[in-house]
Amino acid sequence: MPTPPQKDYYGTLGVKKTASAEDIRKAFRKAARKYHPDVNPGDKRAEEKFKEISEANDVLSDEKKRKIYDQVGFYSDQIDPATAEAYARAQREGTQPPIDFGGFDFSGFQGGPATQAGSGSSAWGSFKDIFSGIFTGAQHQEQPRGPQPGTDLEYQATVDFWTAIRGGQARIQIDRHEVCTTCHGAGRIGPEIQCSECHGTGQVTQMGGRMKFNITCPNCNGTGRVANLCPTCHGEGTLSRSETVEFRIKPGTRDGQRIRLQGKGNAGINGGPPGDLFLIVRTGTHPVFTRQGDDILITVPITVAEAALGAKVEVPTIDGRAQLKIPPGTQGGQKLRMRERGVESAQNPGQRGDEIVTVTVAVPHLNDERSREIMRELARLNPNDPRKALFEKI
Ligand SMILES: [Zn+2]
Ligand SMILES: [Zn+2]
């Protein structure tokens, strides 16, 4: 049986298999000084040798690479440590390794008969070229074709300002994968016939460079028999469909809240359960009210007289009009709190937020002489400077 070409990295560096990292470092430096192209200008043999020791050092000086090399007999970036471990274990126990190197057909190799181990760099190069392909191929085949759960979906759902406060029904249009109604998710229909890819053998031959190797037929998963592809879903088992989903909004739902609709995500494959649909609620805005958690913010203008003398004014709340007491001497920008006039909390049932009123003072336009005279009179009676405190703080 042909085996993959191997390289004796330890021999190249002239160290034992048990060499420490320090031994390897020293051996490489010594050899590198001897064969470095700068020291041997124009010497092709030295250049080759330098490449070899560099490659050996690259693998042996890296703990992870060295372990894989020790286990498999060569190194490739495509071999993950778990595969190398499994391969080494199978070799020790004499069982079937996960990758059967002996199964490769090396007959197409340059030079006729099967290449023997360690017979040169050209063989190594070819092997390395196709190596990545073999491992990628193997990974694809290992994908199970059994039941797989559907994936979750996430959508943003904008909900009307009032619906978010009072609760109710809302709807959203989504695209989701549904089980194909023609094949009921199987992806195939009708009786099984001989697989056209492998002609019933369950194996197909792939070319890798000049080498041939057999892999399990991906069309029939090695069974040799397969039913026709479903014409509706082309074998997927699911179809993408636009759907309007209705969902319930709890009173007091806040912006950014997540709603989970179980089983409303994508359909599973081969009978797997569907995923979930997650909705992120975006609460709509209102021209007068602003929501801040369970509180409602509003800006309310009052007259100069109401601000100076105090008054009871009507302000809008989410329940309709309500009386707000303006204390005498209220300033523009002042915030007045109306307790429990906000939103009923979804988190803490029975609790309500507040309405927070920001007062602005509407200054009158004085268009007649009598009004202006009264204002001047008012100023004479109250000669306080509102900017005095500012200057005192400087
Ligand atoms: Zn097949
Ligand atoms: Zn189908």
Q: Can you tell me the mean pLDDT for 331-338?
A: 97
| Whether 371 contacts 311, CB under 8 Å | no
Close Cβ partners of 312 (under 8 Å, ≥ 6 residues apart)? 323, 324, 325, 326
Q: Can you tell me the mean pLDDT for 165-178?
A: 94
CA of 185 to the centre of ligand 1 (A): 21
User: φ, ψ for residue 285 (rounded to 5)?
Assistant: -95, 170
User: φ, ψ for residue 21 (rounded to 5)?
Assistant: -60, -35
**Owner of token pair 């049932």:** 349
| Whether 349 contacts 372, CB under 8 Å | no
Position 4 pLDDT exceeds 60: no
Ligand number with the minimum distance to the CA of 202:
1
What pLDDT does residue 119 have? 36
What pLDDT does residue 75 have? 79
What pLDDT does residue 286 have? 97
Interatomic CA distance for residues 108 and 2, integer angstroms? 12
Ligand number with the minimum distance to the CA of 231:
2
CA of 241 to the centre of ligand 2 (A): 13
Over residues 228-250, the pLDDT tens digits come to 889 999 888 889 999 999 999 99
Close Cβ partners of 350 (under 8 Å, ≥ 6 residues apart)? none
What pLDDT does residue 207 have? 72
CA of 137 to the centre of ligand 1 (A): 15
Strand 238-249 versus strand 168-179 pairing type: antiparallel
Task: Specify the higher pLDDT residue, 190 or 261.
Answer: 261
Q: Alpha-carbon Rg of the chain, whole angstroms? A: 40
CA of 194 to the centre of ligand 1 (A): 8
Local confidence band at 190 (pLDDT 50, 70, 90 cut-offs): confident
Ligand number with the minimum distance to the CA of 228:
2
Local confidence band at 96 (pLDDT 50, 70, 90 cut-offs): low
Ligand number with the minimum distance to the CA of 201:
1
Q: Can you tell me the mean pLDDT for 357-372?
A: 96
Among residues 298, 297, 291, 299, which one has the least CA distance to residue 346?
Answer: 291
- Secondary structure class of 77 (helix, strand, coil): coil
